[in-house]
């Protein structure tokens, strides 16, 4: 697509699309695009989302994916 590659690791590629960053997992199993949001505090964000009907579907040290009450999945990353 012509996006500029910003970072590459064994697990991921990060591209600059102009307006958004596009992260591609290098997994054999593909999945749908997941919008990401950067926050100051991942734990307080997680608590707030869970209190408001969201559920955590995948997580790591400073990030997590959550599903909102409508079924959409998003990524939260600590700044």
pLDDT tens by residue, 21-71: 787 878 777 677 788 888 999 999 999 999 999 999 999 999 999 999 999
For domain 32-79, which CATH number applies: 3.40.50.720, 3.40.50.2000, 3.10.180.10, 3.90.320.10? 3.10.180.10
Q: Which residues of the chain form CATH 3.10.180.10?
A: 32-79
Complete DSSP assignment for 53-78: T-EEEEE-SSEEEEE-TTS-EEEEEE
Confidence at residue 59, expressed as pLDDT on a 0 to 100 scale: 94
Confidence at residue 78, expressed as pLDDT on a 0 to 100 scale: 93
Half-sphere exposure of 41 (CA within 13 A, CB side): 6
pLDDT band at 5 (very low <50, low <70, confident <90, very high): very high
- Rounded Cα distance, 32 and 67, in Å: 13
Beta bridge partners of 8: 13
- Single pTM value for the model: 0.70
């Amino acid at each position: 697509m012509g996006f500029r590659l910003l970072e590459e690791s064994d697990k991921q590629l990060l591209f600059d699309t102009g307006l958004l960053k596009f992260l591609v997992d290098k997994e054999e199993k593909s999945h749908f695009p997941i919008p990401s949001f950067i926050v100051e505090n991942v734990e307080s964000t997680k608590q707030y989302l869970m209190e408001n009907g969201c559920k955590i579907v995948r997580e790591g040290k400073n990030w997590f994916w959550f599903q909102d009450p409508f079924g959409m999945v998003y990524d939260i990353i600590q700044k």
